[in-house]
A and B are shown apart, each in its own frame.
Chain A
Amino acid sequence: MVIMAADRQAVALGLGPGMKLADARARVPELLAFDHDPLADASLLARLAEACERYTPMVAAEPPDALILDISGAAHFYESETALAQDAEDRLDAVGHAICWALAGTPDAALALARHGLKEGAEAQLPVSALAMDAKTHQALERAGLYRIGDLAERPRANLAARFGMELTLRLDRILGSEDRPIDPLRRVGNIVTERRFAEPLTHIDAALTCLSELFAEAAERLNQRGQGARMIRILLFRCDGDVARLGIETGAPTRDAALFKRLLRERIEALNDALNPGFGYDLIRLSIVAADPLAPQQLRLEGGEDRQGDAIALVSQLSTRLGRERVQTFAPADSHIPEQGLLALPALNAPAPVPWRVKPSGDPPTRPLHMFDPPQRVQVIAEVPDGPPHRFTWRRKSHQVIRYEGPERIASEWWQRPDGQQPGNGGLTRDYYRVEDARGRRYWLFRHGLYGEEKANPDWYVHGLFA
């Protein structure tokens, strides 16, 4: 086992990454060692990145141990860029993270400086290993007497490129600041972002909600200018001790309605598993419109009266926010003759336009049940072999005498979906459906699973649905 990371005390004792654990134990017998958990590290880094969104919306995590903040034009809340970085250091220090930071024109330069404990403008003093090429290249550079980035910078690029490849000159340019690299921020910047900062943190939820309503009204004003309505809203509540609460709201139709937003927000907060805890208070509240759709200003009806369509969508949005979007559904037909696959239950929030259902010619009673069991339930059936109708069946410990029946309606399995389905025996079991009615007038949908003798020696029977 090898040491992956060591704390300050361990480093002071001469231990460090790359050392074998047995050697370290031999030197320091009372060493405390924990298993390396890269996933936990990554999630911690992601959480820190989120907390750093208070400084700028452009935060990228640079695994395993770095964060890149693009603070161009975002430092005006602080006296200087250094003050901003100092503030970040103080906050992270308060929650127990020791950090090194550096400011530079490009992300690579800042990373290299921070990793080597240098400050802005000291790029020339960086060792060549800051280029993060492979060990062989580093060795070759040092053998040529080039120990520092400054030494490399003086050399003509063409010779370097010919000797070590274009990769080296590209990295060199990036560290020296003549070549920029785009960062991949944690999330896309929303279309419209409104935020409030508080000198004195808000410690009451109600105050935060009022503030959010005002923010939404501001955002709605800007949406109105663009002729759009919000579909997806993201809310970030930054607590002054570094914790960030995230809320997302989705609506069924583009909206600029502040009352609807307020209602949905209340639903969303009530539906949270662990209630919002303001703790020491929120000092920054941000609301961003992540997705928006065109929404023309609506004309009121001349004769008065409210708009019904909008009300229905508002209700769907409200129920989806409270119960979850998967729990409020509309139905659409699916192209399959297997009964349980003949429908799609889609979230009503963004359901497509309704599709007409195929209805059989009139005059016949329904051939499909009103309620369906998924999966079908086993029943014991007395029926003639090989393919006679059921005479009597036992379901849920009750025996039912079949008075009337119709069938079979034979539904083959989708053998073309199976591997080697065209071979006999691989095609799946055929179902023979019967519509039956018992003595009390209940109507059931039973099926025999498999053809007697051909597909199965002793086919099972199931009840698949109940008719009205």
Chain B
Amino acid sequence: MNNSDSDSGGAFGLSPANSPAEPKTAGQKAAALKARLGKILAASGVKAAEDADSPSHFGFGVNRVDAALRGNADQPGLPRAALHELHAADKSDRSSAAALALLLAQRCRALGSDRKPILWISESGQARRQGRLYPPGLAELGIDPSGIIHVDAPDSIAVLRAAADGIRSPAMGAVIAELSGRKPRGLDLTATRRLSLSAQKSGVLGLLLRCGGDADNPLPTAAFSRWQVAAAPSVPLAANAPGHSVFDISLLRHRSGLYGLSARLEWNRDDQVFREQQQSHERAPYPGAVPALSAGRADHPGTRAA
């Protein structure tokens, strides 16, 4: 676990194993506890080893974040066969949260060999008011729109029912259910517990996208992890043009008790991976953050002219 650089990176993940008071005895204790916990987790079926050939965890592709998310599990990243919750920090951050959900689903789907579809479920009234998914924009983010099944549910109950059916079916790559409002009808501990149990059984990633909820006092859910997503200023291109999509994410809750993990991520379409941006005041000369922009733009000067 590379917790050596986590001090320099600002906020970092705390895992129970790497904050020992007395290294010797506590280390042994931790190992024993870990073994015990592993047994309990195996018995409770958290790690549904349904697909032996594809990995059971997926991550952002950023080493620091993925390693910090390891928690008690034996692999870095987040478990695929679980329900995760993404909160938009503000109503106007809905697009960022939606994009992050789609990109995580895309990364998770890419782990398997067969291209399973992503099931996107939203409320129709919400889509009319807040804008609906625009497939050409998806294509430009690197997500194939033909791999998406779009479901327009009339109300939140129908959203949850469709999500339950989708998660239960192992033919889906991922299921994203979008619910907005402070307290959507039907969304409670029981419903989310049902979703996460189905996810464990079928091995399908479930993502619950929440918009307009109360971030300080969220509804109790049985999700494995809860994230807050906000839009962040992009790294400008030439002539001060807006750059690639940048997200501020912070971990609000995790089954293993992690908290306080936050990062600023930039999506790289070509490698289908997130890159971390340094959160410093001057524009960071992080080599991976801006992938060969100047060269690409010099090569195609005409493509971006109006």
Contacts and interface: CB of A to CB of B under 8 A. Distances in A.
B93 interface: yes
Interface stretch (A13-21, A55-63, A291-299, A399-407): A399-407
Given A319-B151, A328-B151, A343-B135, 8 more contacts: A333-B135, A365-B237, A368-B139, A370-B138, A372-B134, A432-B306, A442-B92, A465-B131
B169 A312 contact: yes
A445 to B, nearest CB: 9
A315 B93 CA distance: 31
9 contacts: A315-B119, A363-B297, A366-B141, A369-B134, A403-B233, A405-B240, A441-B234, A466-B94, A468-B137
Interface of A: 306, 308-312, 314-316, 318-319, 322-323, 326-333, 339, 342-343, 345, 348, 354-374, 403-410, 432, 435-437, 439-443, 465-468
Interface string B94-132: 111011101000000000001011010000100000111
Given A343-B136, A371-B130, A442-B92, A327 B153 contact: yes
B171 interface: yes
B134 A465 contact: yes
Contact of A315 (B141, B166, B242, B269): B166
A330 B242 contact: no
B300 A361 contact: yes
Contacts of B148: 330-331
A378 to B, nearest CB: 14
Contacts of A323: 151-154, 158, 162
Nearest to B241: A406
Given A316-B149, A371-B132, A441 B231 contact: yes
Nearest to B300: A361
Interface in B285-306: 291-293, 295-297, 300, 303-304, 306
Contact of B165 (A318, A410, A432): A318
Chain B binding surface SS class: mixed
Nearest to B168: A315
A315 B172 contact: yes
Interface in B155-175: 158, 161-162, 165-166, 169-172
B239 interface: yes
A259 to B, nearest CB: 14
Contact of A468 (B119, B145, B245): B245
Contact of B306 (A332, A354, A407, A443): A407
A377 to B, nearest CB: 9
A363 B270 contact: yes
A331 B306 contact: no
A312 B146 contact: no
B253 interface: no
Nearest to B166: A315
Contacts of B133: 370-372
Contacts of B9: none
Given A365-B243, A437-B233, A329 B139 contact: no
Interface of B: 92-96, 98-100, 102, 114, 116-117, 119, 124, 130-142, 144-154, 158, 161-162, 165-166, 169-172, 230-234, 236-237, 239-248, 267, 269-270, 291-293, 295-297, 300, 303-304, 306
A388 to B, nearest CB: 14
Contacts of B291: 363
Nearest to B293: A363
A353 to B, nearest CB: 9
Contacts of A368: 134, 136-137, 139-140
Contacts of A409: 306
Contacts, number: 221
Contact of A319 (B136, B165, B245): B165
Nearest to A369: B137
A306 B169 CA distance: 11
Given A365-B237, A404-B240, A406-B241, A465 B137 contact: yes
A365 B244 contact: yes
Nearest to A463: B131
A409 B242 CA distance: 14
A468 B96 contact: yes
Nearest to B233: A441
A442 B231 contact: yes
A384 B92 CA distance: 26
A333 B145 CA distance: 9
A405 B135 CA distance: 23
B246 A441 contact: yes
Given A327-B152, A331-B150, A465-B134, A358 B139 contact: yes
B98 A468 contact: yes
Contacts of A468: 95-96, 98-100, 137, 141, 231, 245, 247, 267
A406 B95 CA distance: 19
Contacts of A327: 124, 151-154
A359 B140 contact: yes
Contacts of A322: 158, 161-162
A367 to B, nearest CB: 6
Nearest to A328: B151
B241 A443 contact: no
A366 B150 CA distance: 21
Contacts of A374: 132
B108 to A, nearest CB: 16
B171 A309 contact: yes
B249 to A, nearest CB: 13
B102 to A, nearest CB: 8
A327 B155 CA distance: 12
Nearest to A400: B92
Question: Which of B130, B135, B144, B158 gathers most chain A CB within 10 Å?
Answer: B135
A306 B95 contact: no
Given A312-B169, A441-B231, A332 B146 contact: yes
A403 B136 CA distance: 25
B262 to A, nearest CB: 15
Interface centre among A310, A342, A365, A410 (most CB of B within 10 A): A365
Most A CB atoms within 10 A — which of B130, B152, B296? B152
Given A312-B117, A368-B134, A374-B132, A362 B151 contact: no
A365 to B, nearest CB: 5
A319 B245 CA distance: 33
Contact of A330 (B102, B146, B161, B162): B146
A319 B162 contact: yes
Nearest to A365: B244
A441 B232 contact: yes
A392 to B, nearest CB: 16
B124 to A, nearest CB: 7
Contacts of A348: 149
Given A327-B124, A443-B231, A308 B171 contact: yes
Contact of A440 (B136, B171, B233): B233
- Nearest first, the 10 closest Cβ-Cβ pairs linking A and B are A363-B296, A468-B99, A311-B171, A354-B146, A371-B131, A406-B241, A366-B140, A372-B134, A312-B171, A441-B233
